[in-house]
Amino acid sequence: HANHIYDIRDIPISMLKRDTHLKVRRITLEGKAELDPIVREVLNELAYPRYYLDFETVSFAIPIWVNTKPYQQIPFQFSCHVEETPSVVMHKEFLDVSGNDPRRDFAEALIESCGNAGPIIVYNETFEKGRIKELSNLFFDLAENLLELNERIFDLHPVVKKHYYHPDMKGSWSIKYVLPCLVPELNYKDLGAVQDGIQAQQAYFDLTGNTLDEKKQKQLKVDLIEYCKLDTLAMVEIVHKLVIKI
């Protein structure tokens, strides 16, 4: 760095203009997490049942299915934790690694899994909302039901960013940084061959490439399911911790 500053704790306050940067510096210097009590009110306003949702997608440089474009993100998997009450949580999932276009079955399963009412909680709504909008443009008979899902989406990411920070997050509010700080008993590093979105996409290629024996196929499917499942379970547990930590 031109000013020979390599540690956030050495940055003069005068150099920082954004509130977020000032907050990160202050909490890093203090060395302990900060939680805004108002987050409890925000999250307790969410009605039940609550649907915690996450997608995995695959993209191809050269499209292999009709009505797809180069590098289009095609959803082939979702995880949905359904919280009927704070003590009753069910899990629903969808995974298509057949090699066929997964979008129709994905859309129908998504509508079925998310019920008719209740918030659909995601972490960074742009991604899920974008994929749902694309599906609604493709399947006119499902469009109304799909767009109704988008109306119910609640984005957890800005809530966490506004109200919580831990020095170990190192300036990132990615769920993979937030989770070990709030819920250390859950960890992506404890997963198998799939621990992030890039590995999930590679797993899709491996499973549809007919290069794996039956045992490896079975295990990789399990790893894919467990990874996506952790993404939504992480949101359930993060919400619980933010509410009870105050």
Question: Could you tell me if 113 and 80 are in contact, meaning their C-beta atoms sit under 8 angstroms apart?
Answer: yes
For residue 92, the model assigns a pLDDT of 97
pTM for the model: 0.89
For residue 41, the model assigns a pLDDT of 94
Q: Name residue, tokens 């039901």.
A: 145
- Return d(Cα 137, Cα 143) in angstroms, integer: 7
HSE, side-chain direction, 13 A CA sphere, residue 236? 26
- Return d(Cα 84, Cα 51) in angstroms, integer: 9
Q: Report whether pLDDT(159) > 70.
A: yes
- pLDDT, tens only, 12-69: 665 555 566 556 655 555 567 778 889 999 999 999 999 999 999 999 999 999 999 9
Q: Report whether pLDDT(82) > 60.
A: yes
- pLDDT, tens only, 91-134: 999 999 999 999 999 999 999 999 999 999 999 999 999 999 99
Tokens in use for 152?
């119910």
